[in-house]
Amino acid sequence: MNSSNPVFRRGFPTGQRYATFNPPTPDATELSQMYTAPSYAPPRYMTLDDVVVRTAATLGTLMLTGAFSWMVLTDRTALGLIMPALLVGFVLGLVISFRGSTNPALILSYAAAQGLVLGGISRFMEALYNGIVIQAVVGTMGVFAGMLVVYRTGAIRVTPKFQRWLLASLIGVVVLMVVNMIASIFTPGGLGLRSGGGLAIVFSLICIGVAALSFLLDFEMVNQAVQRGAPEKFAWYAAFGLTVTLVWLYIEILRLLSYFRD
Protein backbone atom coordinates (compact mmCIF):
# COMPACT_ATOMS: atom_id res chain seq x y z
CA MET A 1 0.00 0.00 0.00
CA ASN A 2 1.42 3.38 -1.02
CA SER A 3 1.79 6.01 1.68
CA SER A 4 0.82 9.63 1.17
CA ASN A 5 3.81 10.69 3.26
CA PRO A 6 6.65 11.66 0.83
CA VAL A 7 9.28 10.63 3.34
CA PHE A 8 7.91 7.09 3.52
CA ARG A 9 7.52 6.92 -0.27
CA ARG A 10 11.17 7.80 -0.81
CA GLY A 11 12.44 5.60 2.01
CA PHE A 12 11.13 2.26 0.77
CA PRO A 13 12.21 1.60 -2.85
CA THR A 14 10.41 -1.15 -4.73
CA GLY A 15 11.75 -4.03 -6.80
CA GLN A 16 14.46 -5.04 -4.28
CA ARG A 17 14.62 -7.92 -1.86
CA TYR A 18 16.19 -7.68 1.56
CA ALA A 19 17.46 -10.27 3.98
CA THR A 20 15.02 -11.42 6.63
CA PHE A 21 15.91 -10.38 10.17
CA ASN A 22 15.68 -13.22 12.68
CA PRO A 23 15.91 -11.92 16.26
CA PRO A 24 17.83 -14.09 18.73
CA THR A 25 15.88 -16.16 21.24
CA PRO A 26 16.04 -14.50 24.70
CA ASP A 27 17.58 -16.48 27.52
CA ALA A 28 16.10 -16.99 31.01
CA THR A 29 17.59 -13.76 32.41
CA GLU A 30 16.24 -11.64 29.58
CA LEU A 31 12.82 -13.25 29.89
CA SER A 32 12.78 -12.49 33.62
CA GLN A 33 13.69 -8.85 32.94
CA MET A 34 10.92 -8.61 30.35
CA TYR A 35 8.30 -9.93 32.76
CA THR A 36 9.42 -7.73 35.68
CA ALA A 37 9.64 -4.55 33.61
CA PRO A 38 6.89 -2.00 34.47
CA SER A 39 4.01 -2.15 32.06
CA TYR A 40 2.31 0.84 30.48
CA ALA A 41 -0.28 2.33 32.82
CA PRO A 42 -3.24 3.92 31.04
CA PRO A 43 -4.37 7.35 32.32
CA ARG A 44 -6.96 7.33 35.11
CA TYR A 45 -10.29 8.96 34.54
CA MET A 46 -12.10 11.03 37.13
CA THR A 47 -14.63 9.27 39.35
CA LEU A 48 -17.17 10.53 41.84
CA ASP A 49 -14.95 9.25 44.65
CA ASP A 50 -12.12 11.45 43.38
CA VAL A 51 -14.38 14.50 43.64
CA VAL A 52 -15.49 13.55 47.15
CA VAL A 53 -11.90 13.07 48.35
CA ARG A 54 -10.65 16.35 46.78
CA THR A 55 -13.62 18.28 48.13
CA ALA A 56 -13.01 16.85 51.60
CA ALA A 57 -9.35 17.91 51.41
CA THR A 58 -10.30 21.41 50.26
CA LEU A 59 -12.96 21.89 52.93
CA GLY A 60 -10.65 20.35 55.53
CA THR A 61 -8.01 22.96 54.73
CA LEU A 62 -10.64 25.68 54.94
CA MET A 63 -11.85 24.47 58.33
CA LEU A 64 -8.32 24.17 59.73
CA THR A 65 -7.38 27.75 58.86
CA GLY A 66 -10.83 28.89 59.96
CA ALA A 67 -10.35 27.23 63.34
CA PHE A 68 -6.93 28.87 63.61
CA SER A 69 -8.44 32.28 62.90
CA TRP A 70 -11.25 31.63 65.38
CA MET A 71 -9.37 30.09 68.31
CA VAL A 72 -5.76 31.27 68.16
CA LEU A 73 -5.92 34.83 66.91
CA THR A 74 -7.26 37.71 68.95
CA ASP A 75 -10.29 39.69 67.83
CA ARG A 76 -8.17 42.55 66.51
CA THR A 77 -5.68 40.27 64.77
CA ALA A 78 -8.42 38.14 63.24
CA LEU A 79 -10.21 41.18 61.85
CA GLY A 80 -6.88 42.51 60.58
CA LEU A 81 -6.40 39.33 58.53
CA ILE A 82 -9.79 39.45 56.85
CA MET A 83 -8.98 42.04 54.17
CA PRO A 84 -5.54 40.66 53.14
CA ALA A 85 -6.85 37.08 53.13
CA LEU A 86 -9.95 38.18 51.24
CA LEU A 87 -7.80 39.87 48.61
CA VAL A 88 -5.54 36.81 48.27
CA GLY A 89 -8.54 34.49 48.00
CA PHE A 90 -10.17 36.75 45.41
CA VAL A 91 -7.05 36.82 43.22
CA LEU A 92 -6.51 33.07 43.51
CA GLY A 93 -10.16 32.46 42.70
CA LEU A 94 -9.91 34.55 39.53
CA VAL A 95 -6.71 32.79 38.46
CA ILE A 96 -8.18 29.34 39.00
CA SER A 97 -11.47 30.23 37.31
CA PHE A 98 -10.13 31.90 34.19
CA ARG A 99 -7.28 29.43 33.68
CA GLY A 100 -9.39 26.41 34.57
CA SER A 101 -6.49 25.38 36.78
CA THR A 102 -6.40 21.97 38.43
CA ASN A 103 -3.27 22.74 40.45
CA PRO A 104 -3.82 21.38 43.98
CA ALA A 105 -1.47 23.98 45.50
CA LEU A 106 -3.50 26.89 44.10
CA ILE A 107 -6.84 25.40 45.12
CA LEU A 108 -5.70 24.50 48.64
CA SER A 109 -4.17 27.98 49.00
CA TYR A 110 -7.51 29.48 48.01
CA ALA A 111 -9.23 27.31 50.63
CA ALA A 112 -6.71 28.36 53.28
CA ALA A 113 -7.25 32.06 52.53
CA GLN A 114 -11.02 31.67 52.60
CA GLY A 115 -10.76 29.80 55.90
CA LEU A 116 -8.96 32.76 57.49
CA VAL A 117 -11.69 35.07 56.19
CA LEU A 118 -14.57 32.91 57.39
CA GLY A 119 -12.94 32.30 60.76
CA GLY A 120 -12.47 36.03 61.39
CA ILE A 121 -15.96 36.96 60.22
CA SER A 122 -17.56 34.12 62.17
CA ARG A 123 -15.79 35.06 65.38
CA PHE A 124 -16.85 38.69 64.99
CA MET A 125 -20.48 37.75 64.27
CA GLU A 126 -20.61 35.23 67.11
CA ALA A 127 -19.49 37.94 69.52
CA LEU A 128 -22.42 40.09 68.38
CA TYR A 129 -25.06 37.37 68.04
CA ASN A 130 -24.58 34.32 70.23
CA GLY A 131 -25.23 31.04 68.42
CA ILE A 132 -25.49 32.55 64.94
CA VAL A 133 -22.53 30.60 63.53
CA ILE A 134 -23.91 27.14 64.25
CA GLN A 135 -27.23 28.25 62.77
CA ALA A 136 -25.48 29.39 59.59
CA VAL A 137 -23.49 26.15 59.35
CA VAL A 138 -26.61 24.01 59.78
CA GLY A 139 -28.46 26.14 57.26
CA THR A 140 -25.64 25.82 54.71
CA MET A 141 -25.44 22.06 55.07
CA GLY A 142 -29.22 21.81 54.85
CA VAL A 143 -29.36 23.77 51.60
CA PHE A 144 -26.51 21.71 50.14
CA ALA A 145 -28.20 18.43 51.03
CA GLY A 146 -31.53 19.68 49.74
CA MET A 147 -30.11 20.72 46.36
CA LEU A 148 -28.32 17.37 46.07
CA VAL A 149 -31.67 15.61 46.53
CA VAL A 150 -33.28 17.95 43.99
CA TYR A 151 -30.57 17.13 41.45
CA ARG A 152 -30.62 13.38 42.06
CA THR A 153 -34.40 13.18 41.78
CA GLY A 154 -34.50 15.38 38.67
CA ALA A 155 -36.96 17.81 40.25
CA ILE A 156 -35.09 20.61 38.45
CA ARG A 157 -33.45 19.69 35.18
CA VAL A 158 -30.20 21.44 34.31
CA THR A 159 -31.05 22.32 30.72
CA PRO A 160 -29.11 24.81 28.55
CA LYS A 161 -31.96 27.31 29.06
CA PHE A 162 -31.71 26.90 32.83
CA GLN A 163 -27.95 27.38 32.70
CA ARG A 164 -28.31 30.61 30.69
CA TRP A 165 -30.96 31.92 33.06
CA LEU A 166 -28.91 31.12 36.15
CA LEU A 167 -25.75 32.64 34.66
CA ALA A 168 -27.66 35.86 33.89
CA SER A 169 -29.00 35.93 37.46
CA LEU A 170 -25.52 35.38 38.86
CA ILE A 171 -24.07 38.22 36.79
CA GLY A 172 -26.92 40.50 37.85
CA VAL A 173 -26.37 39.75 41.54
CA VAL A 174 -22.61 40.38 41.29
CA VAL A 175 -23.16 43.66 39.42
CA LEU A 176 -25.58 44.85 42.10
CA MET A 177 -23.06 43.97 44.81
CA VAL A 178 -20.32 45.96 43.09
CA VAL A 179 -22.60 48.95 42.45
CA ASN A 180 -23.79 48.91 46.06
CA MET A 181 -20.17 48.80 47.27
CA ILE A 182 -19.20 51.75 45.10
CA ALA A 183 -22.30 53.71 46.09
CA SER A 184 -21.56 53.15 49.79
CA ILE A 185 -18.36 55.17 49.36
CA PHE A 186 -20.38 58.27 48.49
CA THR A 187 -23.66 57.56 50.33
CA PRO A 188 -24.02 55.82 53.69
CA GLY A 189 -25.57 52.42 53.09
CA GLY A 190 -25.18 52.65 49.33
CA LEU A 191 -28.27 51.30 47.61
CA GLY A 192 -29.50 49.78 50.85
CA LEU A 193 -28.75 46.22 49.75
CA ARG A 194 -26.65 45.53 52.86
CA SER A 195 -28.12 47.97 55.36
CA GLY A 196 -30.25 45.42 57.21
CA GLY A 197 -33.66 46.72 56.17
CA GLY A 198 -36.40 45.07 54.17
CA LEU A 199 -34.57 45.56 50.87
CA ALA A 200 -31.43 43.98 52.32
CA ILE A 201 -33.43 40.94 53.48
CA VAL A 202 -34.96 40.50 50.03
CA PHE A 203 -31.57 40.84 48.35
CA SER A 204 -29.99 38.28 50.70
CA LEU A 205 -32.84 35.85 49.98
CA ILE A 206 -32.21 36.30 46.25
CA CYS A 207 -28.47 35.70 46.74
CA ILE A 208 -29.18 32.56 48.78
CA GLY A 209 -31.53 31.31 46.06
CA VAL A 210 -28.98 31.91 43.30
CA ALA A 211 -26.22 30.28 45.35
CA ALA A 212 -28.42 27.25 46.06
CA LEU A 213 -29.30 26.82 42.39
CA SER A 214 -25.60 27.14 41.53
CA PHE A 215 -25.08 23.78 43.23
CA LEU A 216 -27.11 22.22 40.42
CA LEU A 217 -24.56 23.53 37.91
CA ASP A 218 -21.73 22.16 40.05
CA PHE A 219 -23.39 18.72 40.27
CA GLU A 220 -24.05 18.71 36.54
CA MET A 221 -20.43 19.64 35.81
CA VAL A 222 -19.23 16.72 37.95
CA ASN A 223 -21.69 14.31 36.34
CA GLN A 224 -20.75 15.31 32.79
CA ALA A 225 -17.03 15.14 33.57
CA VAL A 226 -17.37 11.60 34.93
CA GLN A 227 -19.46 10.44 31.97
CA ARG A 228 -17.10 11.94 29.39
CA GLY A 229 -13.98 10.49 30.97
CA ALA A 230 -12.33 13.67 32.21
CA PRO A 231 -8.79 13.22 33.59
CA GLU A 232 -8.42 12.51 37.28
CA LYS A 233 -6.90 15.91 38.03
CA PHE A 234 -10.15 17.65 36.99
CA ALA A 235 -11.57 16.52 40.33
CA TRP A 236 -9.62 19.37 41.93
CA TYR A 237 -11.41 21.91 39.78
CA ALA A 238 -14.77 20.36 40.68
CA ALA A 239 -13.84 20.59 44.36
CA PHE A 240 -12.93 24.25 43.85
CA GLY A 241 -16.34 25.00 42.31
CA LEU A 242 -18.21 23.34 45.17
CA THR A 243 -16.10 25.20 47.75
CA VAL A 244 -16.74 28.59 46.14
CA THR A 245 -20.50 28.03 46.23
CA LEU A 246 -20.44 26.76 49.82
CA VAL A 247 -18.45 29.78 51.01
CA TRP A 248 -20.77 32.23 49.29
CA LEU A 249 -23.88 30.48 50.61
CA TYR A 250 -22.54 30.43 54.18
CA ILE A 251 -21.76 34.15 54.15
CA GLU A 252 -25.19 35.03 52.76
CA ILE A 253 -26.99 32.89 55.34
CA LEU A 254 -24.86 34.40 58.12
CA ARG A 255 -25.72 37.88 56.88
CA LEU A 256 -29.44 37.12 56.63
CA LEU A 257 -29.53 35.71 60.17
CA SER A 258 -27.85 38.86 61.46
CA TYR A 259 -30.62 40.96 59.86
CA PHE A 260 -33.28 38.97 61.71
CA ARG A 261 -31.33 39.24 64.97
CA ASP A 262 -31.30 43.03 64.60
**DSSP symbol at 42:** P
User: Is the model's pTM score more than 0.75?
Assistant: yes
CA distance 34 to 39: 10
pLDDT number for residue 110: 94
pLDDT number for residue 1: 44
**Per-chain mean pLDDT for the chain:** 82
- Among residues 153, 158, 154, the alpha carbon closest in space to that of 224 is found at 158
CA angle 146, 244, 174 (to 5 degrees): 100
Greater model confidence, 40 or 187 = 187
Q: What is the pLDDT of residues 14-60, one digit of tens each?
A: 444 444 445 556 566 665 665 565 554 556 788 888 899 999 999 99
Phi and psi, residue 95, nearest 5°: -60, -45
CA distance 18 to 137: 78
**DSSP symbol at 229:** T
